[in-house]
Structure 1
């Protein structure tokens, strides 16, 4: 009796499940966090401009340095590790990470979060540049610089901009989860990374402790403030872009 060949089973295709909706970080909590950070930032500005940060800055620069030449203590590999950390706040790597995050958000069709992230990063860069130009503080000369650094010292651009970028990215991706524990973990990890970036600038001798403290507080404060005040404008921009694309490709876009 001839056997009939079994019908070939259709191949299973991989499916990508996009988030059904995006959640918003509580704007009240974001404003509280921003207020705390900006209060600390204003205090650091006052301390620097009044000359009251000198003792804190000198102690911080010499904290982990030894010998007559005030060379950082520790093995050679530690210096390379510190330089790797500081690179996370550098222009090239920071922008590459931000670009990757924006592409990922657009792929996930979280257009509101992508627009908000872009606006936060650009606004933070402008704000840091304005404060740097207004204060015009020179770089520290108490210890040797272990890498090249140019421009004004206050606030630290690496500290400010890395806090803006990484915390804003954490806030954007935290919007994908309804679980508060996940959101807090993402934001805490981003904060920890940027604190290490800030500490690396002092370790390398290119910034005063007050520079990086103010930079981190200002950057984190702006990331939280932007999350609260730029949410609606970002949503409107994303909706307008979505409507235009819908006109060009009717029925092909996810309505999310």
Structure 2
């Protein structure tokens, strides 16, 4: 019998290796498994980003990038993205979702919601997470300094370097962080799943629109998704840790 309910059962003196292994699995499943999975996902994302950045700087991804970018263009006229004109217009509308103006307005709206819902400390976490993602994105762009695609005309204005895609990274970090934080303060599983699904869908659409409009190589977008997802998971872990310490509001607080 474990006298300390907070102490993992595999640290007790219960005889038998099977009992200890079962205790390990039970403890991880009830307390630490989501955290461990998130940590492994973050490490995997960071490793993938580093490998991708190395391949890009060595020029090993150029052929794949070129083939994927041209697959979204009319072969008879590379200035014309595939599909009718209204699809191109939708692409520009979607890509705006990852722009600084929209993300700033969305962040303000979500922060306002959290404040009205009594989640003041969670609102502070969201502000710090969003500004931090912008800073990391800018630092990575200036460090790697990859040229924009020059195979096709750009169908929207660009001002910064290409790798990683800022729209993709900021969309991933902002939408996924917001989704994770909003899901943390919801009690119903259906609401949690819905919020996360919307965040993931918006992130994917923004990244695809950047390639469709010819302003990013596919590997730029993949790197942005990877870095943004790692940042969002890190923010989720931070919020979870702060909630455990009662420094950030939990699902039941109002």
- TM-score (structure 1 length as normaliser): 0.78
Once the two structures are superposed, residues 146-184 of structure 1 have per-residue CA deviations (whole angstroms, 9 ceiling, x without a partner) of 111111000011000111111111111101223445423
Partner Cα separation in structure 2 for residue 125 and residue 232 of structure 1: 23
Partner SS state of residue 167, structure 1: helix
Partner of 1:74: 83
Say if 1:194 and 1:118 are closer, same or farther in 2 by CA, change over 3 A.
same
Partner Cα separation in structure 2 for residue 181 and residue 154 of structure 1: 36
**Is 1:200 the counterpart of 2:209 in the alignment?**
yes
2:46 maps to which of 14, 38, 43? 38
RMSD of Structure 2 on Structure 1 (CA) = 2.4
Partner Cα separation in structure 1 for residue 133 and residue 171 of structure 2: 10
**Is 1:52 the counterpart of 2:69 in the alignment?**
no
Report the Cα offset of residue 185 of structure 1.
3.3
Once the two structures are superposed, residues 115-172 of structure 1 have per-residue CA deviations (whole angstroms, 9 ceiling, x without a partner) of 2211111111111111111101111101111111111000011000111111111111
Partner Cα separation in structure 2 for residue 237 and residue 83 of structure 1: 43
8 Å Cα contact 1:27/1:227 also seen in 2: no
Partner Cα separation in structure 2 for residue 236 and residue 217 of structure 1: 29
Partner SS state of residue 132, structure 2: helix
Flag structure 2 segments of 5+ consecutive residues without an equivalent: 1-32
8 Å Cα contact 2:48/2:226 also seen in 1: yes
Flag structure 1 segments of 5+ consecutive residues without an equivalent: 1-24, 243-254
Higher helix share: 2
**Count of matched residue positions in the alignment of Structure 1 and Structure 2:** 218
2:139 maps to which of 130, 135, 144? 130
Partner Cα separation in structure 2 for residue 150 and residue 193 of structure 1: 23
Report the Cα offset of residue 69 of structure 1.
2.9
Partner Cα separation in structure 2 for residue 77 and residue 104 of structure 1: 34
Partner Cα separation in structure 2 for residue 51 and residue 67 of structure 1: 24
Higher RCO (CA < 8 A, seq sep 6+): 1
- TM-score (structure 2 length as normaliser): 0.78
